Chain A
Amino acid sequence: MSPNVLALLPEIILTLAGVFIMLAEPCLKAGSSRKPLGWLAIAGTVGSIVASWYQIQFGTLHAFSGTIQVDAFSVLFHFVIASVVLVTLLGSLDYFEGNASHTGEYFALSLFGAVGMMLMTCSVELLMVFVGLEISSISTYIMCGFRKGHATGSESSIKYFLLGSFATAFFLYGVALAFGATGSTNIYAIAHGLETTTTPALAFTALALILIGLGFKVSAAPFHVWTPDVYQGAPAPVVGLMSTAPKAAAFAVLLRITFTGFPTYQHRWAILLWVLAALSMTIGNLGALMQRDVKRMLAYSSIAHAGYIMVAFTAFPFDGIAAACFYTATYAAMNVGAFAVITQIAGYDERARSIDDFTGLGQKRPYLAALLSFFLLSLIGIPFTGGFFGKFYVFSAAIHGGNVWLAVIGLLNSGVACFYYLRLLAAVYTRPGSESTRLNQLRRISVPAAIGLALAAVATGVMGILPNGAVSFAEYASHSTLIEQGRQECAASPDSCHLQLDFDVK
């Protein structure tokens, strides 16, 4: 197999599946079920997971003139993204059934979005990152407004589109300035160029602009204002997808750009990320306290979780990258799980919106309620869940890096966070009043949706109880990027080569 094809195998599979769905859609009779297309999308996603697994045995792959680099790091993020898409697709097979005429596009768009996100995680060329960012963003803009008949859906889509384009412009501007300062848009060349650049201020401005652009994508405060409105209006499965997968991709890019592209400026950008992390955690959690709408509440909670991940950036490179990878994976599992439950409960016409609408769920649907509680407890960070070990890992890395106070801020924040998650949890297990009829119309949960939920729950549980495998993978990912970074450094300037190969990998 040509190295170019091998390197992009998962993306190619997804693209082919997506294109095929687009072509098949018009051939189906209007009004007939679009489920076969959904199954096709699921098959494509599974195929891409298998392809990623296949790639890992080749170590680090370079393709397309050094713009693509597939290593354990990108494979890890491929897994996360593909799994999120898989769980979302399984949960939304029935979601649109009988409600929308354009369901086929939804499946195709999910796949195209995943292609974009995967491209982001495996490119080491900022322009390539930009292409991936655009592919994924445009897909999600459309998916946000998928409930065409609903005003909030359109509002969500437009808001996300306008603000998102604005943020992308920031990113692009940052890339341009980085080119100006260092003469390249390849992150290894940037890292090399930074050592000899005559305009360090320009380079740092470039980094700051890139940070704004990506800060928007991960909804870090103070670039978070779009999040609650967009999440509220978008369909629940889409929110589950866009609150996890694009964020994972954006964090992957951010990790590469900061630790690999601008390592010489770590003492500077670490301060920026310190501030962003503290702000995101605080604003996210305090904001969530005020919300009565569950999706808005989880929107603020996702801002806070972005903050927790950014805490990892203040640690030493090896710890930091591994911790950020691990937390991204756990966050993806538990958040997509929580939204998958909400998808099942709320349905297409959003029967249950506010916290009060969830009253009595514990009695009516004990299993769904138990799953929702599990995901919420994991989001809180209760022991023996992925969320707990993730937080533990991130804060342990930060404290190892000397940022004790950021850890204190973060953990106090998780105390505040309990309050709003518990409010929802308490409602779930409160006896319903007689007038509550919203939950009476619940359909039986379908088998695929149940499988999706089980996948998310198992992932969350395993990462909490037996995290060894996931931790080793995260450490391996961290290791592989740092090794490659060292190699590239040595290739660029053999004189000052200090290749460090003895990372502590077990």
Chain B
Amino acid sequence: MNIDHTILTVITFVPLVGAVLLALLPDKGRLMQWGALAVTLLTFLCTLHLPAHYNYAAASGTFQFEQNSAWINSPAIRYHLGVDGLSMWLIVLTGFLAPLGVLVSWNTVGDRKKLFYTLFLLQQVAMLGIFVSLDLFLYYAFWELSLVPMTLLIATFGRTANRRRAAIKYFLYAFIPSATLLVGMLWLYGRTGTFQLPELAQLAAAHNISGNNAALWLASLSFLLAFAVKVPAFPLHGWLTDAISEAPTAAVMVLVGKLGLYSILRFSFSIFPDQSRHIAPLMIALGAIGIVYGALIALVQKDLKQLAAYGALGHVSVVILGIFTFTIAGLDGGIYATLNEGIGAGAFFILLGILYERYGTYDMRDYGGLAARLPWMVTLFVITTMSVIGLPMLNGFVGEFLVLTGAMQSVIAHHVAWTVLATTGVILTASYMLWMIQRVFYGDLNDNTADVPVPDVTAREHLALWPLIAVMLLMGVISPYWMRAIDTVGTYLAREPQSLEPAASILPIDTQTQIPAAQEATK
């Protein structure tokens, strides 16, 4: 039996079945943890089917593992799933982070475990659904759905009394632009009569979406705004710090970056190629500002979670900068950096979480000189830091290097000063991360934490961290393994809209003659 045509459905709905099962099982002992771990591991195994059977020779702009069946007749909505080089690795990443999220929540979630793990699995469903949907309606449904479990996780399992405010802030920030996104989608449907992304991309490439210029612009802005808030792109990051500092570790790991960035790449760029290129100079500038702004604010933080939040803002800004250069290097690097963000920030938040578990504080002033006591912890912290600041041989370097290269090459009209500014971000990132290591682990022992007897990293935590460390190293050394698939998407998106083949997604013969040429040109 060939499962290629159902695998995406399986991946998306295994966590849903798991969530229902957990909701029905009694909340006894460690049943919830083991159940959630089993479900997430199963999902992860299913996601591995994708890279194993991915057809690298397929024409770019096409989708694989497609499933396309009728769902609702009027309006014409189809159950249409499919992945390409962009979404495939994001799906695997989502599957990969989930069991780690369960492992780090093992003891931190004390009561109401059932609620926690059910919501956690529902969040998985929504995220996976976002990545696999090729029908705008289906995508939007998952997009909206992703808000609910996250909001409830923050509202009920937040760290301080501020949690409800943080949750509502997060929800409103994300929901209101989503409302205009829906208007944009419906307008688009009114113009084209379809919700299918491949068809829309084709129409857009051939400039066949009717409507005056202003309306198209408004529609494209409704898309971009909703996505940029979710990323979050500077200056739309108002929800970020509150949400990050409240949310439990397992939720924080998936809160930032990939959903919004993926959506920009997939929907804004394909459906509004011209408008995206026109707005690119602004986004490049915002990206560069975001990098420096995030790093500078992180530099003056005393709270570790705030530091991580502003650091995350800087990192997603790198991606924004990269993808809006519309160069192959920039797009490839941006997509790669999106994966890095998931891995690096994931590891960093896990480490912060286990530190907090031991000492009950995120205030750096309470720490100091822990290196001698917690040798494993400091080792893992340092490796993660190196990955985050982009040391060669580790994953961070590949993404950052490509993005900055792309920013220099770009033909999009922008001032080269933005690239220079962005490059200083590399130094600033190193400063705040290394200074953080210095303040927490070196120097004199702090009275507040010196006398607390705590164990070093436990076996369970090792189990959660080493996979991440291994991936950091692998992604730094053998990046072509990932880049192969990513490059097909980067190359496809980087082409000038005029030269886009109108029928690229259904006539592979045409594109096959063009893509190798384009790839040759870049080498």
Report A's interface with B, CB cutoff 8 A. 362-363, 377, 381-384, 388-389, 392-393, 395-396, 399-400, 404, 407-408, 411-412, 414-415, 418-419, 422, 425-426, 429-430, 467-468, 471-472, 475, 504, 506
Contact = CB atoms under 8 A, between A and B. Distances in A.
B171 A395 contact: no
B180 A411 contact: yes
B142 interface: yes
Given A418-B175, A506-B73, A392 B182 contact: yes
Given A414-B179, A426-B155, A471-B73, A399 B142 contact: no
A429 B111 CA distance: 13
A411 B179 contact: yes
Contact of B74 (A381, A412, A418, A471): A471
A419 B186 contact: no
B312 to A, nearest CB: 25
Between B72, B140, B151, the greatest number of chain A beta carbons within 10 A of the residue's beta carbon is seen for: B72
- Which 5 residue pairs of A and B lie closest in terms of their CB atoms, listed nearest first? A383-B141, A411-B179, A415-B176, A399-B186, A506-B73
A422 B73 contact: no
A422 B186 contact: no
A468 B72 contact: yes
Contact of B152 (A363, A396, A429, A467): A429
Contacts of B171: 418, 422
Main secondary structure of the interface of B (DSSP, over half): helix
Given A383-B140, A404-B187, A411 B72 contact: no
11 contacts: A381-B144, A384-B145, A392-B137, A395-B183, A399-B186, A399-B187, A399-B190, A415-B178, A429-B115, A429-B155, A468-B71
Interface residues of B, number: 34
Main secondary structure of the interface of A (DSSP, over half): helix
Contact of A472 (B73, B156, B190): B73
Interface in B152-174: 152, 155-156, 164, 167-168, 171-172
B355 interface: no
Between A426, A430, A467, the greatest number of chain B beta carbons within 10 A of the residue's beta carbon is seen for: A426
A372 to B, nearest CB: 14
A388 B144 contact: yes
Contact of A412 (B141, B176, B187): B176
Interface of B: 71-75, 112, 115, 137, 140-142, 144-145, 148, 151-152, 155-156, 164, 167-168, 171-172, 175-176, 178-180, 182-183, 186-187, 189-190
A395 B182 contact: yes
B188 to A, nearest CB: 10
A408 B142 CA distance: 21
B186 A407 contact: yes
Between B72, B148, B175, B189, the greatest number of chain A beta carbons within 10 A of the residue's beta carbon is seen for: B175
Contacts of B187: 399, 404
Between A399, A408, A414, the greatest number of chain B beta carbons within 10 A of the residue's beta carbon is seen for: A399
Nearest to B138: A383
A69 to B, nearest CB: 25
A395 B186 contact: yes
A383 B135 CA distance: 14
A435 B331 CA distance: 58
B186 A388 contact: no
Contact of A383 (B74, B75, B145, B155): B145
Contacts of A404: 183, 187
A506 B74 contact: yes
Contacts of A396: 75, 186, 189-190
Nearest to A396: B186
A276 B145 CA distance: 30
A363 B189 CA distance: 43
A389 B72 CA distance: 11
Between B75, B152, B164, B178, the greatest number of chain A beta carbons within 10 A of the residue's beta carbon is seen for: B75
Contacts of B190: 396, 399-400
Contact of B183 (A399, A426, A468): A399
A407 B222 CA distance: 13
B183 A407 contact: yes
A19 B176 CA distance: 51
A411 B140 contact: no
Given A384-B141, A396-B186, A471-B73, A422 B168 contact: yes
A399 B73 CA distance: 18
Given A419-B172, A425-B152, A467-B72, 19 more contacts: A363-B112, A377-B148, A383-B140, A395-B182, A396-B75, A399-B186, A399-B190, A400-B186, A400-B190, A404-B183, A407-B186, A408-B179, A411-B179, A411-B182, A412-B179, A414-B179, A418-B172, A419-B168, A471-B73
B246 to A, nearest CB: 13
Nearest to A391: B182
Contacts of B142: 383
Contacts of A418: 171-172, 175
Contacts of B189: 396, 399
Given A418-B172, A506-B73, A408 B145 contact: no
Contacts of A407: 183, 186
Given A395-B186, A419-B172, A472-B73, A382 B144 contact: yes
